[in-house]
Amino acid sequence: MTLEEYKKEFSEEDAVGWLEIDKEFDRLYPGQEPKHFAPAISYMLGGDNPLDGVSYYESKKQEDHYHFITYGFSELYYDEEKINGEFSKWGFELTFRLKPFEADNENPSWAVALLQNIAKYVFSSGKWFEEFHYMPANGPIRLGTETEITALLFINDPEIEKKQTPHGEVSFLQIVGITGEEYNAILENQITVEELVDKLKENNPLLITDLNRKNKA
């Protein structure tokens, strides 16, 4: 895209990258208005949370679940200097599919905090994620919860291809909750991340995280 084309298509008020993300979710959930969480004070103004927002949609695919998307790992706003970069900022946004959990009372706001915490790690360490990366959550992914899900791995979201945006490439990386035993099995080379993903997909092709799930490794 040339600078001329960029200026013709967008104005300085346009959240160019944000619109690109929304196109994908409008395709998946036509006509659905997502629930949206924005930090009270934006990161640019000194707030603690690096992401400008997290939305979630209600999906009925495979089984009822929430489908989260982050806004902020990629370049969201009009910026002529960011045209045609190889990657848009960190080059990804995170998604997360969550089976409704009774204690949430249909308000899974803890998942927003989880995504913001991952963003804090990326923004402060300068380390980013790619498919088949994994990390411990240092406890239950939903704090104070009796669950075996205490770690995460990253896969490409099964429903969203990586895309070229005016600011560069953006992948949609889905975080998937795994059990402590599964995480240890990866660390001890008893199973690769790819093998675990294939195993989990047998009964759960969309890799929806279920806090009540027991160990599979």
Whether this prediction's pTM lies above 0.85 is answered by yes
Q: Return the biggest CA–CA distance within the chain.
A: 55
Q: Mind listing the pLDDT tens digit for each residue in 92-135?
A: 999 999 999 999 999 999 999 999 999 999 999 988 899 999 99
What mean pLDDT is predicted for residues 15-31? 93
Distance, in Å, from the CA atom of 77 to the CA atom of 179, rounded to the nearest integer, reads 37
Tokens 């993300």 locate to: 21
Query: What does the mean pLDDT of the chain come to?
Result: 92
Burial of residue 35 (number of CB atoms within 10 Å: 0-12, 13-18, 19+): middle
Amino acid at the residue 159: E
Distance, in Å, from the CA atom of 4 to the CA atom of 194, rounded to the nearest integer, reads 43
Cβ count within 10 A of residue 48: 10
- Give the sign of the dihedral formed by CA 175, CA 179, CA 184, CA 190: negative
For residue 46, the model assigns a pLDDT of 77
Q: Mind listing the pLDDT tens digit for each residue in 135-167?
A: 999 899 999 999 999 999 999 999 999 999 888
Q: Output the CA angle 30-72-77, nearest 5 degrees.
A: 85
Distance, in Å, from the CA atom of 130 to the CA atom of 73, rounded to the nearest integer, reads 13
For residue 216, the model assigns a pLDDT of 56
First to last CA, the chain: 46
